[in-house]
Chain A
């Protein structure tokens, strides 16, 4: 996994800039982190603690985030992700979301992905459980490549 290029803090509440097309949040349990590692794609991890400066996205990206819980939506989206998306520039560049979770949480399974999908009007591309199986990794790897190809074809050449 390549690291994010460090740069001085820019703007309100932002820290490092990243050109990664995959940005993710993972708590100290590292389930989502392990999934992203298995993708072997360039990816940037959001800071674990809300007090830390968040990232500034420079290129279109897909967001991967877990839903940890099952309390009918309350607090489903991690605070660190909210902090990141509260920055308009980050919101403009999001193209899709991938949710991690556990079907044991019933209707709340990958709820954070649903919430962001609605708020940012982007597709909830895929859902996987815990750190994902090898099948999940293959499907997301292929799916993301196709997704980016399709998006680049849709863009009108200048």
Chain B
């Protein structure tokens, strides 16, 4: 792939937030702004003792996983989200992409905060060298990058959504795994903030993709749908190799793959397509799911329970101004 000069928005007018064409733009902007965070707010140094309990192999794995995630965040911040701006339908959509781009840069920087807290400079440099040399990691970045520089705006959104909602998860698995074993819990708190942001990004870019499909011919829609599944398969095959490469040494590869399937389904749903992987291969380890979200386990499924008793959700503060009762 020959790097080309990135296309810029061809015409800019003063953005008027008092005249909204798509309410999703405002809703997502507000959500992203409310979710804003910086790594300095997370007490990572509380993980120093926990880090010391990991074996050398586990430490190496963790650092490699985090440099892999750093590469994806860098790609999304520097090229991915920015490449979507010229294709935006509304000026507010452009503004949302600038927010997404910036937060991806915050994510990328936060891994360096983790490194500087837990590791030596030599170890850090080694891990970054690994990220440049690892074939599967470089391949996934190159596949996505190819579409960012390509000339199809909708394919760019497909690639971007698959990055946000699928490609990160071979990496996100590990801090959730450590968290489920009460290790590196502050690091996991930081990663959960990233995971939350990526969900909004994938949701929004996927939504804009679906808006872009409106009014297209059936043939063109089918072409894009076929393309989505082809790209997902291409990325999936690479992810499986990447997963084995990283996790075989600690015996977790099969568990990670279930997490990949589960998230591939969610990426497809963000693009408006039905889930592809059947339940038999998306049964994510409950400990991982509960590290991700404490409400996600089967105990919260009333229909599968004994029936006579049920759990009422825990009390939460609400905006009482809005409620009459």
- Using a CB–CB cutoff of 8 Å, the interface residues on chain A facing chain B are 27-29, 31, 68-71, 73-77, 79, 82, 85-86, 88, 91, 96, 102-107, 109-111, 113-115, 117-119, 121-127, 129-131, 133-135, 139-140, 142-143, 146-147, 150
> Which residues of chain B are within 8 angstroms of A119 by Cβ–Cβ distance?
318, 323, 325
Q: Are A123 and B311 in touch, CB under 8 angstroms? A: yes
> Which residues of chain B are within 8 angstroms of A77 by Cβ–Cβ distance?
318
> Which residues of chain A are within 8 angstroms of B312 by Cβ–Cβ distance?
117-118, 121-124
Q: Are A129 and B325 in touch, CB under 8 angstroms? A: no
Contacts A114-B316, A117-B313 given; indicate if A131 touches B301 (C-beta within 8 A). Answer: no
Q: Which of B27, B279, B292, B315 contacts A103 (CB 8 A)?
A: B292
Q: Are B192 and A127 in touch, CB under 8 angstroms? A: no
> Which residues of chain B are within 8 angstroms of A146 by Cβ–Cβ distance?
303, 307
Q: Are B318 and A124 in touch, CB under 8 angstroms? A: no
Q: Are A75 and B319 in touch, CB under 8 angstroms? A: yes
Whose C-beta in chain A lies nearest to the C-beta of B28?
A68
Q: Are A118 and B313 in touch, CB under 8 angstroms? A: yes
The answer to the question of B217 belonging to the interface, with a C-beta cut-off of 8 Å to chain A, is no
Q: Which of A70, A103, A124 contacts B35 (CB 8 A)?
A: A70
Q: Are A86 and B292 in touch, CB under 8 angstroms? A: no
**How far, in whole Å, are A117 and B289 apart by their CA atoms in the complex?**
23
Q: Are B199 and A104 in touch, CB under 8 angstroms? A: yes
> Which residues of chain A are within 8 angstroms of B199 by Cβ–Cβ distance?
70, 102, 104-105
CB distance from B150 to the nearest CB of A (A): 26
The answer to the question of B322 belonging to the interface, with a C-beta cut-off of 8 Å to chain A, is yes
Interface 1/0 per residue, B278-314 and A, CB below 8 Å: 0100100000010011111000111110010011111
**How far, in whole Å, are A139 and B23 apart by their CA atoms in the complex?**
33
> Which residues of chain B are within 8 angstroms of A150 by Cβ–Cβ distance?
307
Q: Are B318 and A113 in touch, CB under 8 angstroms? A: no
**How far, in whole Å, are A86 and B323 apart by their CA atoms in the complex?**
6
30 contacts between A and B (CB under 8 A): A29-B24, A29-B210, A31-B269, A69-B31, A70-B196, A76-B318, A79-B322, A85-B325, A86-B324, A91-B325, A103-B289, A103-B292, A104-B198, A104-B199, A105-B293, A109-B293, A114-B314, A115-B318, A118-B315, A119-B323, A121-B312, A124-B300, A124-B312, A127-B300, A131-B274, A133-B282, A139-B303, A143-B302, A143-B303, A143-B304
The answer to the question of B275 belonging to the interface, with a C-beta cut-off of 8 Å to chain A, is yes
Whose C-beta in chain A lies nearest to the C-beta of B189?
A106
The answer to the question of B238 belonging to the interface, with a C-beta cut-off of 8 Å to chain A, is no
- Using a CB–CB cutoff of 8 Å, the interface residues on chain B facing chain A are 23-24, 27, 31, 34-35, 192, 195-196, 198-200, 203, 207, 210, 265-266, 269-270, 274-275, 279, 282, 289, 292-296, 300-304, 307, 310-319, 322-325
Whose C-beta in chain B lies nearest to the C-beta of A34?
B272
Whose C-beta in chain A lies nearest to the C-beta of B313?
A114
Q: Are B265 and A133 in touch, CB under 8 angstroms? A: yes
Whose C-beta in chain B lies nearest to the C-beta of A121?
B312
CB distance from A39 to the nearest CB of B (A): 13
Contacts A86-B325, A106-B192, A125-B303 given; indicate if A130 touches B316 (C-beta within 8 A). Answer: no
Q: Are A126 and B322 in touch, CB under 8 angstroms? A: no
> Which residues of chain B are within 8 angstroms of A118 by Cβ–Cβ distance?
312-316
**How far, in whole Å, are A97 and B289 apart by their CA atoms in the complex?**
22
> Which residues of chain A are within 8 angstroms of B302 by Cβ–Cβ distance?
96, 123-126, 143
> Which residues of chain A are within 8 angstroms of B314 by Cβ–Cβ distance?
114, 118
**How far, in whole Å, are A140 and B303 apart by their CA atoms in the complex?**
8
Q: Are B295 and A107 in touch, CB under 8 angstroms? A: yes
